[in-house]
């Protein structure tokens, strides 16, 4: 029999992970719900979620390839390079904002039924990971178009997805708290996300940057995620050990800090919902 004891000692992070694991049935349902609502019920189905990254890529390709005549120094084709960047940044943005939204606007459920809000953050990150996997289809087509193929070690990108899921789940918990406390945090985060996008080498290679700019860009964890993704999928980038250190370190750090702060703040903010 289940017993709820409000005074029971809860170890932050550990107990939260345990409860997500215990509710994995619910987690799976929430992911399926997200995907069903998005795909099955809309006329153009799967293409709908790809429309945004594909359209963004088309616009940027026109601007940088045709207008600015950008070339990658190593001679790699620009389009797959660009598309992989857009897909990865979409994975990050979607996981982050969908998760935070699910909690901040989840008052309907979260204040009526006992369910750990962390499950909503995790499900948002996982559904955007599924969208990302779907986006690999068009990316492969684009690669083939340039007579290239994904590398033999491309399953390594599953690690990129795994760490990105940790990263966005942790950050979206923090963001959800900000959303609940401050109404204007949504517009501020959009400015921040735009800045972050330009600080990620989506449409330019790291090698063209000056030493100082390069240092700043490399500090952005998304740069490491992206460089590793491109390296592992075969889109003209080299990943370094330093990239791996930043990716693993920042995602584990964001995950632990996010869960820890959330476990402290949630009891205070749930009354505000």
Q: Which of residues 67, 73, 152, 184 is near another protein by CB under 8 A?
A: 184
Q: Which of 181, 28, 41 is nearest to 104 (CA)?
A: 181
Q: Kindly tell me which of 5 and 210 has the beta carbon lying closer to another protein.
A: 5
Residues 164-183 that bind another protein (CB under 8 A): 181-183
- Apex CA 102: angle with CA 223 and CA 125, to 5°? 35
Q: Which residue of 2, 67, 68, 212 would you call a contact of another protein, by CB under 8 A?
A: 2
242 contributes a contact to another protein by CB under 8 A: no
Q: Is 11 in the site for another protein (CB under 8 A)?
A: no
Site membership for another protein, residue 21 (CB under 8 A)? no
Q: Which 3 state secondary structure label does DSSP give 183?
A: coil
CB contact set of 246 (below 8 Å; sequence gap of 6+): 218, 221, 223, 224
Identity of the residue, 111 or 149, whose beta carbon is nearer to another protein in the bound complex: 111
Backbone angles phi, psi at 161, to 5 degrees: -65, -45
Smallest gap, in angstroms, from Cβ of residue 120 to another protein?
11
Size of the site for another protein (CB under 8 A): 35
What is the pattern of x (binds another protein, CB under 8 A) and - over residues 88-127?
Answer: --------------------xxxxxxxx------------
Binding mask 41-60 for another protein (x = CB under 8 A): x-------------------
Q: How many CB atoms lie within 10 A of CB 113?
A: 7
Nearest of 107, 103, 134 to residue 121 by alpha carbon: 103
CA pair distance 166, 13, nearest whole angstrom:
12
The residue from 65, 105, 185, 197 that contacts another protein (CB under 8 A) is 185
Part of the chain binding another protein (CB under 8 A), chosen from 20-28, 65-73, 142-150, 222-230: 20-28
Residues 6 or more apart in contact with residue 171 via CB below 8 angstroms: 96, 254, 258
Q: Does 191 bind another protein (CB under 8 A)?
A: no
Rounded to whole angstroms, the Cα distance separating 167 from 179 reads 18
| Secondary structure (3-state) at 12 | coil
Q: Which two tokens stand for residue 254?
A: 């964001």
Contact pick of 35, 58, 261, 270 for another protein (by CB under 8 A): 270
The residues binding another protein (CB under 8 A) are 1-7, 25-26, 28-30, 33, 36-37, 41, 108-115, 181-185, 188, 267-268, 270-272
């Amino acid at each position: 029999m289940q017993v709820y004891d409000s005074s029971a000692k809860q170890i932050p992070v550990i107990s939260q992970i345990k409860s997500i694991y215990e509710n994995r049935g619910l987690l799976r349902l929430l992911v399926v719900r997200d995907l069903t609502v998005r795909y099955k019920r809309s006329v153009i189905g799967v293409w709908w979620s790809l429309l945004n990254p594909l359209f963004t890529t088309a616009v940027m390709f026109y601007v940088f390839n045709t207008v600015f005549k950008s070339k990658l120094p190593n001679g790699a084709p620009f389009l797959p390079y660009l598309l992989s960047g857009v897909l990865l940044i979409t994975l990050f943005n979607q996981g982050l904002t969908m998760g935070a939204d699910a909690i901040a606007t989840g008052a309907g459920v979260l204040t009526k039924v006992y369910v750990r809000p962390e499950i909503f953050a995790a499900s948002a990150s996982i559904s955007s990971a599924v969208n990302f996997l779907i986006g690999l289809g068009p990316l492969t087509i684009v690669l083939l178009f340039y007579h290239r193929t994904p590398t033999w070690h491309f399953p390594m990108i599953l690690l990129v997805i795994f760490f990105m899921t940790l990263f966005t789940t942790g950050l979206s918990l923090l963001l959800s708290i900000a959303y609940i406390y401050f109404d204007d945090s949504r517009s501020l985060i959009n400015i921040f996300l735009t800045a972050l996008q330009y600080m990620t080498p989506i449409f330019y290679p790291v090698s063209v940057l000056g030493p100082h700019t390069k240092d700043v860009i490399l500090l952005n964890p998304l740069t490491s995620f992206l460089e590793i993704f491109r390296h592992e999928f075969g889109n003209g980038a080299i990943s370094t050990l330093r990239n791996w250190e930043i990716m693993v370190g920042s995602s584990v750090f964001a995950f632990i800090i996010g869960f820890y702060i959330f476990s402290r703040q949630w009891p205070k903010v749930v009354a505000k919902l």
